[in-house]
Amino acid sequence: MRIGELARRAGTSTRTLRYYESRGLLDARRADNGYRSYDEDDLRLLRQIRTLQDVGFELEETRPFVDCLRAGHPAGDSCPASLAVYRRKLAELDALIGRLADVREQVAHQLATAEESAGPTVAPRCEMTG
């Protein structure tokens, strides 16, 4: 299939596909007429990349999954290097969740302090409604 069809089927743009090619994540074969040529395996690679990026993986973090598929494995996450990326990503997410929990606790404390020092709040009275 040509680049336009691959882009359409993968839900991306031809520009993105050329970028992936420049980064070594996608290999374009050339037909006799010079056009890029792709197959279903390329579509599988793209779907793996898109799935990972949709959940927050950086493009370079998808490389071990792509390499795993290229090596003939049935899934991109069935290789040790892919599992290592999953582990790193989970550790990164756990650290981020911890930092967010700390920030939330600080904001809640600031709110409670502000509410205590403000005393009871009285709703403003609208003079026009009597």
Tokens coding 87: 């582990």
**64: pLDDT strictly greater than 80:** yes
Query: Sorting pLDDT into bands at 50, 70 and 90, what band is 130?
Result: low
Per-residue pLDDT tens for 8-61? 999 999 999 999 999 999 988 888 888 889 999 999 999 999 999 999 999 999
Per-residue pLDDT tens for 109-120? 999 999 888 877
| Residue in 15, 75, 88, 85 with CA at minimum distance from that of residue 47 | 75
**79: pLDDT strictly greater than 80:** yes
Query: Sorting pLDDT into bands at 50, 70 and 90, what band is 123?
Result: low
**76: pLDDT strictly greater than 60:** yes
Domains defined for the chain, CATH in brackets: 3-114 (1.10.1660.10)
Tokens coding 50: 């898109």
Q: Mapped to the 3 state alphabet, what secondary structure does 52-114 carry?
A: HHHCCCCHHHHHHHHHHHHCCCCCCCCCHHHHHHHHHHHHHHHHHHHHHHHHHHHHHHHHHHH
pLDDT, residue 36, reads 86
